[in-house]
Amino acid sequence: MSEKVSARILGDDYTIVGDADPEYIQGLADIVDRKIRELSLGMSSAPKLKLAVLAALNFADELEQLRNSGKNSGGPASPQAEEKTRKLITLLEEGLIGDL
């Protein structure tokens, strides 16, 4: 069953609909908010869309590094890490679409 979760990311309210546990979705939104705020410290005048895209690139980089470290160690990348990254990117995409 889909759950609706209200989250605040960089001062904007979002309603996120997903099948995951609401606390998990809120946790993902908190991670996204922290990452965007971290990026905004060095780019205070950057538009929110640019910060969101840069955050998505950071998350994608983290996923690729995990995948590559799994290949180098002979084992697969963590499925949980891949799933979390996919969900974060989806949340970012849904938030950006809602802003356009």
Per-residue pLDDT at 76: 57
Q: How far apart are the first and last CA of the chain?
A: 27
Q: What mean pLDDT do residues 7-17 have?
A: 93
pLDDT in tens, 60-88: 998 888 888 866 655 555 677 777 777 77
Q: What is the pLDDT of residue 71?
A: 66
Residue 1 has pLDDT above 80, yes or no: no
The pLDDT, as a whole number, for residue 100 is 44
Residue 81 near residue 67, CB atoms below 8 Å: no
CA dihedral 13, 19, 20, 22 (to 10 degrees): 40
Residue 97 in this model has a pLDDT that exceeds 70: no
- 84 vs 40, residue with greater confidence: 40
